[in-house]
Amino acid sequence: KSIRADLQYAIARGELKLHYQVQTSALTDEVTGYEALLRWTHRTRGLIPPDIFIPIAEESGAIVEIGDWVLRTACKTAVQWGRDKIAVNVSGVQIARADFAESVHSILYETGLPPNRLELEITETALIADKVRALHTIRQIHALGVSIAIDDFGTGYSSMQTLRTFPFSKIKLDRSFTHGLDREPAAKAILHAVLALGKSLGITVLAEGVETLAQLDILRHEGCDEVQGYLLGRPEPRESALAANISVA
Ligand code: G
Ligand code: G
Ligand code: MN
Ligand code: NA
């Protein structure tokens, strides 16, 4: 299909762009980092959401070049900001490549971003295809000083085994749990359990998709570490995210 064909030229045509969404400390509102989120403006179709084109890019292999572009662009932006962590989503297809840790290393070197300011977000689903290799690669990346977050936590199928094996420093609790917080006792009970798990494993817990003050209140009350969502800030282009960053400095 033409989306698939056009994806290979999207970088060269300058159609890809990153937006950045703020992550904050739940208690103090302090900025802890920004998540880079990819946007593609197709010259005729307009904005195509990542939910649509990422799976196509994974299938065609274009995700490798796109993923490198995302990582390089996000790292460069973070260097210009001069502070805060940058979180970058990584596909299972990238992790499955034998040279992935090496590309992360070169991009850090090339952009000059200190490894401890980079965090890679990985979903459980991205880790299951070849667990042995994924673990090897993630250990190499972790050894560089880059931190690893488990994304959409709670929606995969072997969360506990994954937590036990991989060197995660952050759990990103899937937004479906956050959305249930003010209505469903089960969502709150799960939050409670995940926070206890995070605390005993020494892993930071971030709640995704925070949209209301009622949700934020519950998260604060339960002792959640970090929050992200429309209430705190929408994903936005670098210029506006930078302005927000300066205003809190
Ligand atoms: O917020 P948004 O609609 O942009 O994201 C939709 C989905 O696309 C999310 O699951 C998000 O993790 C994924 N996504 C966004 N940007 C990237 C990216 O740069 N790389 C990969 N692999 N996934 C991304
Ligand atoms: O899978 P991942 O967590 O990377 O997905 C990030 C996605 O969540 C992006 O598509 C982003 O636009 C979206 N997002 C960020 N904050 C909110 C929010 O508060 N509510 C909803 N519904 N989506 C959000
Ligand atoms: Mn993410
Ligand atoms: Na993601």
pLDDT in tens, 88-101: 999 999 999 999 99
Nearest atom in ligand 2 to the alpha carbon of residue 151 is 3
Total length of the chain: 249
Q: Is the CB of 89 within 6 Å of ligand 2?
A: yes
Mean of the per-residue pLDDT values of the chain? 93
Long-range contacts of 173-176 (CB under 8 A, 24+ apart): 173/205, 173/206, 173/207, 173/208, 173/224, 174/208, 174/209, 175/207, 175/208, 175/209, 175/229, 176/209
| Percent of the chain surpassing pLDDT 70 | 96
| 237 C-alpha to ligand 1 centroid (Å) | 15
pLDDT at 129: 80
Domain residue extents for the chain: 2-248
What is the token pair recorded at 142? 């972790």
Identify the band that residue 1 occupies on the pLDDT scale cut at 50, 70 and 90.
low
| pLDDT interval class at 247 (50, 70, 90) | low
Residue nearest to atom 20 of ligand 1 (CA): 89
Residue 237 identity (one-letter amino acid): P
Q: Around ion ligand 3, which residues have CB less than 5 A away?
A: 89, 121, 151
pLDDT at 234 over 60: yes
Averaged over 6-22, what is the pLDDT? 94
d(CA 205, CA 78): 22
Find the ligand nearest to 40 CA: 1
Distance of CA 152 to the CA centre of its chain: 9
Q: Tell me the CATH number of domain 2-248, given options 3.30.70.260, 3.20.20.450, 3.90.220.20, 3.90.980.10.
A: 3.20.20.450
CA distances from 165 to 54, 132, 134, 161, 247 (A): 27, 10, 11, 6, 40
Dihedral (Cα; 41, 230, 155, 57), 10-degree rounding: 10
Mean pLDDT of all residues in 93-118:
97
64-80: average pLDDT? 97
Ligand 2 center from residue 209 Cα (angstroms): 6
- Report whether pLDDT(248) > 50: no
Range of weakest confidence among 52-66, 90-104, 123-137: 123-137
Phi-psi group of 12: left, alpha or beta (phi > 0 → left; psi -120 to 50 → alpha; rest → beta): alpha
Question: What is the DSSP-derived secondary structure letter of residue 20?
Answer: E
Shortest-distance Cα residue to atom 4 of ligand 1: 37
Give the mean model confidence (pLDDT) for residues 173-185: 95
Cα-Cα-Cα-Cα torsion 145, 245, 68, 53, nearest 10 degrees, comes to 130
What's residue 142's pLDDT?
98
Q: Which helix (H) or strand (E) holds 136?
A: helix 131-143
Q: How confident is the model at residue 249 (pLDDT cuts 50, 70, 90)?
A: very low
Alpha-carbon span 122 to 141, nearest angstrom: 12
Q: Above 60 in pLDDT, residue 66?
A: yes
Q: Which ligand is nearest to the CA of 21?
A: 2
Residue 218 has pLDDT above 90, yes or no: yes
119 closest CA partner among 226, 17, 10: 226
Q: What is the tens place of the pLDDT at every residue in 148-162? A: 999 999 998 777 889
Is 219 a residue whose pLDDT tops 90? yes
